[in-house]
Structure 1
């Protein structure tokens, strides 16, 4: 199997919750319906097939042990009601999880049955008989900035230090190969181990170099990335009540290390690793 070269060593920093804090189990996932929106887009096979459906059922059975009071998902908070109308159709059995469906929503938003929000998030909330899921995303387009036009031909400035970097093409091939050889559960185990949580760090290396003089195109794009994650953390807070003790947040794995930092800094939360609820890697 191809393996991406390692970057600088990362130290796990999962804090220990105190009794008064709300635990946020951050479950990094991959995009099962291949939307193609990321720098590295994993090529997912069809999760509606019998084999993958069985694996997802087993995976969600493991996640049940987390016993969350809320299931939080990476879908637009602005579409909360529409998303929960779709969730209710699954919850009541009107739609089966292995059906090939695409649900159109307002504001050009859609939700496909192959999406991990349906396959994992809805299933988990359904198992716990939750009446609703909690969509918290506020999407941002990091490249939608005229300031980048100044660098359209040349790209970012060359790095000034020859430090180890992850090659995106090698990473793509490695992750595709690993998914093809893994169950859904064991692949999530891999995605949530410390090394894989930092595969998205290349965006920091590249974007921070974009800019010249008073043009801060790259840093401003990173600021929008942090704004998106901060808004998601805020929306998690908005969804809590005084009975909430633990939530499970299903989110693209590239967000996890940033969200872990943000939830650590907010004293009323404590981020938690999902590894205790995931199967061993094969």
Structure 2
């Protein structure tokens, strides 16, 4: 009987402070000597998982460009002038670095972007004022907490926080599932938003399935907002075994 592939999903923050997100936590410059030492600690922890493949939050359609950048990284440590990906990005700082140490010949991009409905929050503000006020207060509170953690914690402490099951469950409930009620019975903007969000994560999961062979040990490095859905997909799929991320942090 073939052994299940082991999948470790590392929820992370965006080291380069990029992208549009509800929670806009600002992290310190990841290239400082202090932060580089902290990242080294994370790498040493993740090495204990002994992944034979590393999957990252980059568009699968950019596989050739990403792996060209990875090959150049392996030769030059990192190339700050590369237009494909910033050397500050967690894909480089964690994925490329770990891949180089473990002598992986490639990195696996598994992302697939989708367009999220832009009308959802404007509609909620005008038509669901009680929900909107509560939701925005939740966002404000999360921003305060996350920025405080970013300011006062090491990289591995931040990652432990982001991968805490209680935090992941609360975020999924309060900041994702709560949106289903926006426009219910009328425009269903909230449901449309969640449909696209789940659709993106299903694309990601399909790409993960496509790259995995039995007995693989795969490290998936992704934005922490994806953790709940991807972990559910992995744990409910008979050919995968979900690994406890906190055991390696």
| Length-normalised TM-score, structure 2 | 0.89
The residue matched to 1:125 in structure 2 has which SS? helix
Change (3 A) 1:158 1:164: closer
Who is 2:221 aligned against?
250
What does 1:174-213 correspond to in 2, within 5 Å?
Answer: 174-201=145-172, 202-213=174-185
2:58 equivalent to 1:87? no
Equivalent in the alignment of 1:21: 4
> Is contact 1:27-1:273 (8 Å) kept?
no
**Conserved in 2, the CA contact under 8 Å of 1:42 and 1:175?**
yes
State the match for 1:136 in structure 2: 110
Which residue of the other structure, out of 177, 194, 197, is the alignment partner of 1:225? 197
Q: CA deviation at 1:208?
A: 0.6
Residues 239, 52 of structure 1: CA spacing in aligned structure 2 closer, same or farther, 3 A cutoff? Answer: same
Residues 115-159 of structure 1 show CA distances to partners (whole Å, capped at 9, x for unaligned) of 1111011111111100001110111232246xx498276054645
Instruction: State yes or no: 1:124 paired with 2:98.
Output: yes
Deviations 1:60-118 (A, max 9, x none): 011100001100101111101100100111112x243xx6x2532xxxxx411111111
RMSD (Å), alpha carbons: 2.5
Contact 1:24 1:248 in 2 (8 A): yes
Is 1:103 paired with 2:77? no
User: Which residue does 1:57 correspond to in 2?
Assistant: 40
Instruction: Compute the TM-score of the two structures, normalised by the length of structure 1.
Output: 0.80
Aligned equivalents of 1:275 and 1:150: distance in 2? Answer: 38
Check whether the contact 1:56–1:120 (CA below 8 A) recurs between aligned residues: yes
1:3-22 CA deviation, whole Å, 9 max, x = no partner?
xxxxxxxxxxxxxxx97211
**Partner Cα distance (1:166, 1:70) in 2:** 40
Instruction: Tell me the SS of whatever aligns to 1:195.
Output: helix
Partner in structure 1 of residue 244 of structure 2: 273
Give distance in 1, aligned partners of 2:19 and 2:122: 26
Q: Aligned residue for 1:216?
A: 188
Three-state SS of the structure 2 residue aligned to 1:111 is: coil
Runs of 4+ residues deviating >6 angstroms: 163-166
In structure 2, distance between residues paired with 1:29 and 1:56: 12
| CA shift for structure 1 position 260 | 1.0
Looking at structure 2, the residues matched to 82 and 251 of structure 1 have their Cα atoms a distance apart, in angstroms, of: 19
CA distance in 1, matches of 2:121, 2:226: 27
Distance change (3 Å), C-alpha of 1:245 and 1:153: closer
